[in-house]
Chain A
């Protein structure tokens, strides 16, 4: 008998709201509340809130924490001071990706927000290798998480914060405040391509924050994982388990920008340097169909009739109204502007490789009046 699914602090609310729920990484998660189309549009044009309490939080503390994480994570942690976050990766010695994550610097600790499917892998990898004096603690079941995303995120959040401090944060900064009286960490990060915040909330306080947002004068639309997937895919953000795995390196996945190749002594760095110099046989491409159809993970990619790779993510873009996806293909074909074909259950669909993002949106908020 399969193990029971984990439930978030908001699972009862999702069911009561009529959400279609389904299993994801061992959790019962809302897939959609109304329709993917409506929820996707709410995030692109207004504001939406996602329950992402399934995501993992790992704390790393101790006097050697910075040096240790610098040796374990690909990006340059020297750039991460208190109050800052950074997209980075955890690799095996051979460069294979254990997880992609965001590391936040806090006053007394580092906080790693990792994929739900990889909490144990990340925790165990880091804990087993930690030098004495460095503590690695899994806080995933103590921390709820809400992602408030979309151009109207400020209006949705403003009535509920204790101070205006969260609205002064820049992209990828993190700070403390209270929302609906619940102490939270708020970070200007997300996975949609829209400006917004991710809120890290004590587990038992999460329903109070959710309820306050929903009862506010500008309530965000509740948004499920299905629209989260279409939003991230339009931006070309890879998803672990589909586009990223231990069989792939950040260079193949186009994530070399998140790796400190020049100076880094992180695990896997030598492999990545060789790949960055010599190139890799395959690269992760993003593409759009040029005729009707929806590509799906596992579909074969063909170039002039020959097998050129496999689709790792595919969907219908609600914004563009066309099929879009990502695929590992030979490095030349992965460059933007190549004509390819996708075998969608026996029907060949014409497609073209493109640049990221497919939809011209930016999560760097400009509504503060800055640049």
Chain B
């Protein structure tokens, strides 16, 4: 399992989801180290359909660990352009590399301003320290 990190180039949602801006209004979404650690060994990813419309703060998929199912919350609104098929086949990638190979969806953001309003890494670390 990966070491606890919160990369500085990402934005964070209070439900422990991250956004990586790709430019051109596109972004990757995933879950944070804290979220995968809380879930434990992830064994299944129920992804959204390509083309699905995501609403900020609403569930867009599920990650299932050995004993729990967790909704994955959209940190911003948008349209699903791609689902990470490698995570569908090998869900433990989310544990092993939550910010890299363990990304969940690529989206076209409906409002990039929503991403700017999210926490940066320092704010998210402070937020975690208060939990």
Chain A residues with CB under 8 Å of chain B are: 20, 31-32, 35-37, 226, 292-294, 296, 316, 323, 345, 347
- With a cutoff of 8 Å between Cβ atoms, the chain A residues found around residue B62 in the complex are 345
The 8 residue pairs across chains A and B that have the minimum distance between CB atoms: A35-B41, A316-B43, A294-B44, A226-B66, A36-B66, A294-B64, A36-B41, A316-B44
- With a cutoff of 8 Å between Cβ atoms, the chain B residues found around residue A31 in the complex are 66-67
* Contact in complex: B44, A32 (CB < 8 Å): no
Q: List 11 A-B contacts (CB under 8 A).
A: A31-B66, A31-B67, A32-B66, A36-B43, A36-B66, A37-B92, A292-B46, A293-B44, A294-B64, A345-B62, A345-B69
Residue of A nearest to B65 (CB): A36
Indicate if B112 sits at the interface (CB-CB under 8 A): no
Chain B residues with CB under 8 Å of chain A are: 40-41, 43-44, 46, 62, 64, 66-67, 69, 88, 92
A235 to chain B, nearest CB (A): 18
A347-B41 Cα distance, complex, nearest whole Å: 23
- With a cutoff of 8 Å between Cβ atoms, the chain B residues found around residue A35 in the complex are 41, 92
* Contact in complex: A226, B44 (CB < 8 Å): no
* Contact in complex: B66, A292 (CB < 8 Å): no
* Contact in complex: B88, A292 (CB < 8 Å): yes
- With a cutoff of 8 Å between Cβ atoms, the chain A residues found around residue B43 in the complex are 36-37, 294, 316
A294-B88 Cα distance, complex, nearest whole Å: 13
Cross-chain contact of A292 among B40, B44, B69 (Cβ < 8 A): B44
- With a cutoff of 8 Å between Cβ atoms, the chain A residues found around residue B41 in the complex are 32, 35-37
A345-B46 Cα distance, complex, nearest whole Å: 11
A339-B62 Cα distance, complex, nearest whole Å: 25
- With a cutoff of 8 Å between Cβ atoms, the chain A residues found around residue B40 in the complex are 20
Residue of A nearest to B88 (CB): A292
Given A32-B41, A35-B41, A36-B41 in contact, is the A293-B46 Cβ separation under 8 Å?
yes
- With a cutoff of 8 Å between Cβ atoms, the chain A residues found around residue B92 in the complex are 35, 37
A345-B67 Cα distance, complex, nearest whole Å: 15
A293-B64 Cα distance, complex, nearest whole Å: 9
A293-B46 Cα distance, complex, nearest whole Å: 7
- With a cutoff of 8 Å between Cβ atoms, the chain B residues found around residue A316 in the complex are 43-44
A294-B69 Cα distance, complex, nearest whole Å: 10
- With a cutoff of 8 Å between Cβ atoms, the chain A residues found around residue B66 in the complex are 31-32, 36, 226
- With a cutoff of 8 Å between Cβ atoms, the chain B residues found around residue A32 in the complex are 41, 66
- With a cutoff of 8 Å between Cβ atoms, the chain B residues found around residue A293 in the complex are 44, 46
